[in-house]
Structure 1
Amino acid sequence: MAKINKNKLVSPFVKWVGGKRQLMPAIVSHLPKNIRELKYFEPFIGGGAVFFHLQPENALINDLNEELVNVYNVIKNNLNELIADLKKHENHPDYFYAIRKLDRTEEFKNLTDVQRASRVIYLNKTCYNGLYRVNNAGEFNAPFGRYKNPNIVNEPTLKAVNKFLNKNNILISKGDYSKTLSQADQRSFVYIDPPYHPISENSNFTGYVQGGWDIFEQIRLREACDQLTERGVKFLLSNSSAQFIKDQYEKYIITTVKATRAINSNGAERGEIDELLIRNYE
């Protein structure tokens, strides 16, 4: 499935909480040996680091975040218009906050898909810590980042991603992960990267999707993984090293890996931490 001659420019176009670039060696080493023969599924696509690293020929990617899924679709279908709109943006706090508050106004409904995608990329490149974050009302609320020269229009990456999405059989969907998982079969591989269960109260971050996640969502996902296993579908799942997660997936193969996390309200909890890779195959 994963091409030998991959295009290094095909890479995440937004920075996403819990991005997997730094964990890539560990993830790749735990993939099924026949990964190239399997259709790739990723129900929580986020920034797509694993997806873009593997560059599968056949894939179904999904996310619940409507604005993010729109960006993927616009890059695939309206690249030139997107690049032109991105070039209009200004790296200035007054301009930033004017663009940020659009989702609090009636005007937001009148934005085109291209304008919405351009807004997401612009805010991601210029907000503090490059952090996509919404409040419980679904409104973007990260502050201005004050970067001197943010790369708002990364044309080489956008063009490479556009070519990759169009050259291969890549389906893009929006909605609950369960719909995506229901389409996987024994000829599939599923990489699952959900919102992480908090190690502590301070470390909880699920602000990239309105409403966040709770313990019951984690249980529902584990039950979905049980169903994948019963159907003979291979999955690899990432999550925090919380004891609750270890208990939920105790019948699966669990590997502890080291990850560096820079986003936490408590500075002492930033840095290298344990994360889990969980799989249902040898």
Structure 2
Amino acid sequence: MAKLPKSPLRYPGGKSRALKQILPHVPLNISEFREPFVGGGSVFFAIRNLFQDRINSYWINDLNYDLYCFWKEVRDNAQDLVATLRETHTTTTDGRALFEKLTQAKDELNQNRNALCEFQRAVRFFVLNRITFSGTVDSGGYSQSAYEKRFTDSSIERVKNISPYLAGTKITNGDYTEALWQDGDNVFIFLDPPYWKATESKLYGVRGTLHTEFDHAQFAENMRKCQHKWLITYDDSPIIRELFAFAEIQEWTLQYGMNNYRNTSA
């Protein structure tokens, strides 16, 4: 496999280490790729790199508004974004003070999207992703080690390098179901939803609400009704196995237990 583009984000549960298990399940004759829980984007970037223009349409989505702003600005305004990130990096001498400055109004930012423009949100998201514990942004705490080792020139350079892969890509900030129900020919959907065992975790969003409020039973029912081909990565759980009894399940291990669930027509 050729060297794949590396996401500039640190993302808990990201799939960069699982690509060898995931990519063989992607059909070769698809016209449209959709990823409604794009997260750090490792699977999307791998597929974009491998398929390129053989896939006519790419659509990525995430309910995390700040993450949406980041990917949108990387696509549309990478040069200014990289310049601002570099300036922030070179002028910052106190990582904790930077963290406190960026998080002091997080509740207001979560409640009012107009409190900060999309570009400023993108800058804020990336910096916090690089200087918080495990890249958890608003739901995590400051990490001096991450500030010293993860907020680097090379991490900012990846923002510039990844931008061409987003050219022409549809980027949205809606519910995952929009990608399931919209018509299309030869559509393939990859889904990496919040894991069942992480229901009580607080990995994503302010106070982790993007994880704790996810309805797994409704998700399974929606996938059962989806007419497109799809592949899901999930954690292993008797409850999830029961919810997805209608799907083909392939189990594999990567650092921790994880399963592949796929539509039998895929």
Output the TM-score relative to the length of structure 1: 0.79
Deviation at 1:102, TM superposition (A): 3.1
Structure 1 residue 86, shift from structure 2 partner: 1.0
Residue 94 of structure 1 corresponds to 97
Give how far 1:30 is off.
Answer: 2.2
Name the counterpart of 1:54.
47
1:198 aligns to what SS in structure 2? helix
Counterpart in 2 of 1:27? 22
Deviation at 1:77, TM superposition (A): 1.0
- CA-atom RMSD in angstroms: 2.5
| Residue in 2 that maps onto 1:156 | 157
Gaps of 5+ in 1: 133-139, 261-272
Aligned sequence identity (%): 23
State the alpha-carbon separation in 2 of the partners of residues 243 and 185 from structure 1: 33
How far residue 141 of structure 1 moved from its aligned partner, in angstroms, is 3.7
Change (3 A) 1:249 1:206: farther
Tell me what 2:260 maps to. 277
Deviation, 1:207, is 3.2
Deviation at 1:144, TM superposition (A): 1.4
Among candidates 208, 219, 225, match of residue 204 of structure 2: 208
In 1, Cα distance between the equivalents of 2:115 and 2:195?
A: 34
User: 1:135 maps to what in 2?
Assistant: none
Evaluate the alpha carbon distance shift between residue 59 and residue 97 of structure 1 in structure 2; reply closer, same or farther with a 3 A threshold.
Answer: same
- The worse-fitting range, judged by mean Cα deviation, of 55-64 and 153-162 is 153-162
Q: Is the partner of 2:221 in helix, strand or coil?
A: helix
* SS of residue in 1 equivalent to 2:16: coil
Deviation at 1:215, TM superposition (A): 8.7
In structure 1, the residue matched to 2:243 is: 248
SS of 1:19's partner is: coil
How far apart in 1 are the matches of 2:211 and 2:162? Answer: 30
Contact 2:12 2:203 (8 Å CA) reproduced: no
How many corresponding residue pairs?
A: 248
Deviation track 1:196-216 (CA, whole Å, cap 9, x = no partner) reads 0018xxx84253135244697
TM-score, normalised to structure 2, is: 0.84
Q: What SS is found at the alignment partner of 1:80?
A: helix
Q: Following superposition of structure 1 onto structure 2, how do residues 30-179 of structure 1 map, counting pairs within 5 Å?
A: 30-34=25-29, 37-55=30-48, 56-57=52-53, 58-89=57-88, 90=92, 91-104=94-107, 109-132=114-137, 140-147=138-145, 148-153=148-153, 154-166=155-167, 169-179=168-178
Greater share of residues in helix: 2
CA shift for structure 1 position 59 = 0.8
Query: Which ranges of structure 2 fall in alignment gaps of 5 or more residues?
Result: none
Describe the SS at the equivalent of 1:258.
strand
Q: Distance in 1 between matches of 2:95 and 2:120?
A: 18
Deviation at 1:23, TM superposition (A): 1.2
Distance 1:129 1:211, change over 3 A: closer
1:223 equivalent in structure 2: 221
Q: 2:233 and 2:86 mapped to 1: Cα distance?
A: 36
